[in-house]
Structure 1
């Protein structure tokens, strides 16, 4: 590819500054103060939100950026969102007229997919933070609204961005502290569940204000000059941590291979590859060989492509520290405009997260070629998402809910894969407890159980997937987004693929059953059951090397059937 055909994405302004006069103790106190401020934002949001997708699932991100839009701190929530927030801030401010148009008390609403990296339901609220009249930072929250006026509350078959929801291209929701009522009323007029959206929008406002207040208090305690000096040292430290890890990887080019089931419109599979280049202490993640933007909504805008790349590598290299801008300086991301990982308007991108999740697995597949001990085998590779809606029989009120669901995780050099966890892209989120689900929604959970034989065989066994069956008590609609139905998670170093792939099925009250993967606005009649199969993870190492006692334990616990164990691990039964 020529330089004209690709775009290189790097972390925010700056590089290692070598700040020598920042006191390390003060720097560490300020770093923890920033993380505390971000966590205050999170707590405020969760405690005031209306919908379970916010306060139970944690389908949001909260972050604080400096005046150069460099990440200061974020609270644990949805990882895939976190790496997109600098774009949300940048484009929200640009849409509102630029930095010169900002004033204390402003709050901007922004949800254009090519700037947020998400579908329009993931609405960002951005607040500029002033200290003694000087713009010093931004607090930002991006949270999933249950509906924002798209062709459906959730879709797998959109063909352009205009079908996907109402767009707010960087408009002031609050101007100098005063609500812009026209914008607020427009947001509520373009949703099927206005009470829940109103509650969640106001909760985002509460959250950014809480973060701004905590940040101003922190800066006031130490002074702006000391604060900024310490922040530069904090960035330098984050960069050093990641570079030290990358230096352990052999220089070279490593190609990871992946595949999407389809694009939501046609049934053709979509193979793709990602190239990881390591040179010294720097990494380049190259998506320039990606296929062209798709007819259906499996296109991943730049912010989420960059976010997936940074998350995949910093989760390995970040030493478990809360990230800041410095952690990203060693990582470049290359994309090709007009491709699946760099779509241009008006390409549909409602299912942006699914190629992003697959790209993370593919990046780990590439890392495994250089350092197989560093990564796990492939997980179930999906969040097996279901989004429900309907009208309650007793009250006539509209309702909606949605959730990711857990899959088996890949095994690794140190042990078996974890059973039934959310994909690493959503590793700090969760799904609602059964009690909350059944209280708020018109269904019963017929079955929630680990799936025997779903983990891939190996010296270390892949984690088990889970079966969840939802029996409907009232008529409802559902959109299902289930990927990797044709490609179970791969094994590593001689480990076998997962034994069960992801799948969905609708079982009618009369027993007839229809299988599915991606489906939009599927009628689930009263008495019908939606069967969700969340697949297992791949194995690590040759099955012949598994400890016989571990095999027998798996059989006793019901993780592996005896028949499958005898087939996959015959050495464990030789002494019979």
Structure 2
């Protein structure tokens, strides 16, 4: 912070109250974990906890799932409107999950909201939200690729449904809910864990107010809002004013393999940013529509780590940016649009889109710190697998496998992206233990490893996604629901970093897995044989998997940062030794020649020169400075215009440097396959392309960006 506290305020008291609020919401999360029986909560941390003021402004928010920032805020604000004038009592609790009316990200993300009273005055709300394993609807688990409207997806609970009154369950509501879900005991236990979380928050907040006094608490929380807003606005102010545009694409709506535009115009003026999603596709009849609550949360998921990475999160962080979205579009749908996977498809595209826009804005900032916030784009696409069936013991089960969170992070200017990092929104991403899933469900894992065909190559390499396989063990058959949102349109790199690999699912039928296990042989990918392998659709439901079949899932990686030819050859050699890349990729993509004893430096220099000549179709006229940093392939601007930092070569003085670059276009899946990266081909419709832009003087890769053929896109 650049300015001091107003006169009369004690910085120690300010920090104690702020930290107390943060510790309260964290303790709420601990209470939920310890009282829940669902591995979605206990193992993967798919929940949030928060405290709000009486009008729905955020006091504090826990570090679990950030896009719940939007859905939780909208849920509280819509509840306040819905119950205006109705009597409220301590011990009341309201439940909601409808994306259209209550702001939920999707129906399984269920909110429980409880009023907080100091004496007889309403002073706030405790809010807990978690993904519940089943909420009814046409498919187990609440994800419905086959749905054509929201009525088929789940039991829809609008704001204002009271689930507890004065501390006791509202019995007729409880009976109605449990009559409409497949796992009623687990559902009710999780609802009780959300109530327990809120009760914990209420007790601790009232204890804090008793210690500091209500008026002092209000004054210092108001000041916390103002200071958080001030810091975010100061950082926005050092980003150049301008209008920035980009787009992303949602794949396959559950019925057809079309592409749906997610467009955004970001306008930065002074210390305010507006994200305007006008131009996005109209809402679709498939389950990829993103609720407005999830839209706001998805914007925040990218903005907060870029601009407010060290700012205590409260309402003040949210006031520095506006979100505009037309009703009836894929980013702000209206009933009866289905919506059960919009947050993990279109919402995740929004986070990727905001990252790309912020990259463009931050790259020319005069502030070194803000320039350092550029990054490769994260995979940001939950790759889902939900299994449902009856075990050999006669118990019905629904496995929502939280291994789907193992996607790679985008590379950073100073380091590689994290492997299996999760989505940008998952601050505390966790993956379930193999032993936990095997203990709770009738599955046996065959392997769980890094997906080496997923990383975006670069001077800093994007994080790798996960790959795993299981077979049934204790059940004869299940039906499977799958979704792989980043299969064809994958995550971009930045500043010459390459895009990453995609996600997918395969069922291998009639395998030899049982024979291998009887022989005591580990069923590796190489040892496994199958009568056939079925590549599943990007989104598909009701897929039968029988005993003896093997289900395989691979997850997308993060985009790279900087031209791969700028990566330290010693790090490339270490990547080969550690199994991250093969020797062929080291040579073809990184230009690194290895010998038995390490890097052949002279041969590597010749190989890199040859790659640069091939890029330009002739001899470069400028030389790359040896030992360049990853950021050296990110075009920069000075008083004379754009230039390539790797060699100092000029790129013109126009507003956009790209017309002055050497541009080559390929089909993305084919081109990335040359780098050992797996991306799914499109069988029909618009092609997914990759545009590569090179410095015309030195051959440095300045940008490699995914693009969909414009003239054929879905409107």
- TM-score w.r.t. the length of structure 2 is 0.76
For the 8 Å contact 2:262–2:280, the answer to whether it is kept is: yes
Task: Indicate the SS of the match to 1:64.
Answer: strand
- CA-to-partner distance for each residue in 1:208-255, whole Å, 9 max, x for gaps? 111111111111111111110011101011101111111121111111
Partners of 1:508 and 1:83 in 2: CA distance:
42
For the 8 Å contact 1:93–1:99, the answer to whether it is kept is: no
**Pairing partner for 1:568 from 582, 586, 589:** 589
For the 8 Å contact 2:461–2:561, the answer to whether it is kept is: yes
Q: Which residue of 1 aligns with 2:97?
A: 111
1:231 aligns with 2:231: no
Q: Which residue of 2 aligns with 1:312?
A: 302
CA 1:398 to 1:559, structure 2 compared with 1: closer, same or farther past 3 Å? closer
1:174 aligns with 2:194: no
For the 8 Å contact 1:242–1:314, the answer to whether it is kept is: no
Structure 1 range deviating more: 389-398 or 524-533:
389-398
For the 8 Å contact 1:335–1:342, the answer to whether it is kept is: yes
Task: Indicate the SS of the match to 1:72.
Answer: strand
Partners of 1:222 and 1:422 in 2: CA distance:
39
Q: Which residue of 1 aligns with 2:201?
A: 211
For the 8 Å contact 1:361–1:381, the answer to whether it is kept is: yes
- CA-to-partner distance for each residue in 1:1-51, whole Å, 9 max, x for gaps? xxxxxxxxxxxxxxx9x9654432212111111112111211111000011
Partners of 1:393 and 1:322 in 2: CA distance:
50
How far apart are residue 574 of structure 1 and its match?
5.1
Q: Which residue of 2 aligns with 1:12?
A: none
| Equivalent residues in 2 for 1:209-358, closer than 5 Å | 209-353=199-343, 354-358=345-349
1:506 aligns with 2:493: no
Q: Which residue of 2 aligns with 1:90?
A: 77
Q: Which residue of 2 aligns with 1:394?
A: 393
Q: Which residue of 2 aligns with 1:487?
A: 489
1:102 aligns with 2:88: yes
**Pairing partner for 1:522 from 518, 536, 543:** 543
Partners of 1:244 and 1:300 in 2: CA distance:
31
For the 8 Å contact 2:281–2:330, the answer to whether it is kept is: yes
- TM-score w.r.t. the length of structure 1 is 0.94
CA 1:130 to 1:539, structure 2 compared with 1: closer, same or farther past 3 Å? same
- CA-to-partner distance for each residue in 1:476-500, whole Å, 9 max, x for gaps? 12211111111232221112222x3
Q: Which residue of 1 aligns with 2:350?
A: 359
CA 1:99 to 1:469, structure 2 compared with 1: closer, same or farther past 3 Å? farther
| Equivalent residues in 2 for 1:459-478, closer than 5 Å | 459-473=459-473, 474=475, 475-478=477-480
Task: Indicate the SS of the match to 2:405.
Answer: coil
1:558 aligns with 2:609: no
Task: Indicate the SS of the match to 2:117.
Answer: strand
How far apart are residue 116 of structure 1 and its match?
2.4
For the 8 Å contact 1:379–1:409, the answer to whether it is kept is: yes
Partners of 2:587 and 2:297 in 1: CA distance:
43
Q: Which residue of 2 aligns with 1:420?
A: 420
Partners of 1:81 and 1:138 in 2: CA distance:
15
Q: Which stretches in structure 2 are left out of the alignment for 5+ residues? A: 364-371, 512-529, 594-599, 604-715
For the 8 Å contact 1:412–1:460, the answer to whether it is kept is: yes
Task: Indicate the SS of the match to 2:246.
Answer: strand
Query: How many residues are treated as equivalent by the alignment?
Result: 558
For the 8 Å contact 1:42–1:75, the answer to whether it is kept is: yes
| Equivalent residues in 2 for 1:139-218, closer than 5 Å | 139-153=126-140, 154-169=143-158, 170-218=160-208
Partners of 2:415 and 2:583 in 1: CA distance:
21
Q: Which residue of 2 aligns with 1:62?
A: 49
Q: Which residue of 2 aligns with 1:374?
A: 373
Task: Indicate the SS of the match to 1:424.
Answer: coil
Q: Which residue of 2 aligns with 1:451?
A: 451
CA 1:57 to 1:390, structure 2 compared with 1: closer, same or farther past 3 Å? same
Task: Indicate the SS of the match to 1:497.
Answer: coil
Partners of 1:502 and 1:420 in 2: CA distance:
13
For the 8 Å contact 2:301–2:424, the answer to whether it is kept is: no
Q: Which residue of 2 aligns with 1:547?
A: 568
For the 8 Å contact 1:22–1:233, the answer to whether it is kept is: no
Task: Indicate the SS of the match to 1:143.
Answer: strand
Q: Which residue of 1 aligns with 2:657?
A: none
Partners of 1:245 and 1:380 in 2: CA distance:
26
| Equivalent residues in 2 for 1:427-442, closer than 5 Å | 427-442=427-442
Structure 1 range deviating more: 388-397 or 233-242:
388-397
For the 8 Å contact 1:438–1:445, the answer to whether it is kept is: yes
Tell me which structure has the larger Cα radius of gyration: 2
Moved segments of 4+, more than 4 Å = 571-574
Task: Indicate the SS of the match to 1:559.
Answer: coil
Partners of 1:156 and 1:322 in 2: CA distance:
38
Partners of 1:145 and 1:270 in 2: CA distance:
28
Aligned Cα root-mean-square deviation (Å): 1.7
For the 8 Å contact 2:388–2:396, the answer to whether it is kept is: no
Q: Which stretches in structure 1 are left out of the alignment for 5+ residues? A: 1-15
Task: Indicate the SS of the match to 1:264.
Answer: coil
Q: Which residue of 1 aligns with 2:618?
A: none
- Higher RCO (CA-CA < 8 Å; seq separation 6+): 1
How far apart are residue 61 of structure 1 and its match?
1.0
How far apart are residue 100 of structure 1 and its match?
4.2
**Pairing partner for 2:62 from 75, 91, 95:** 75
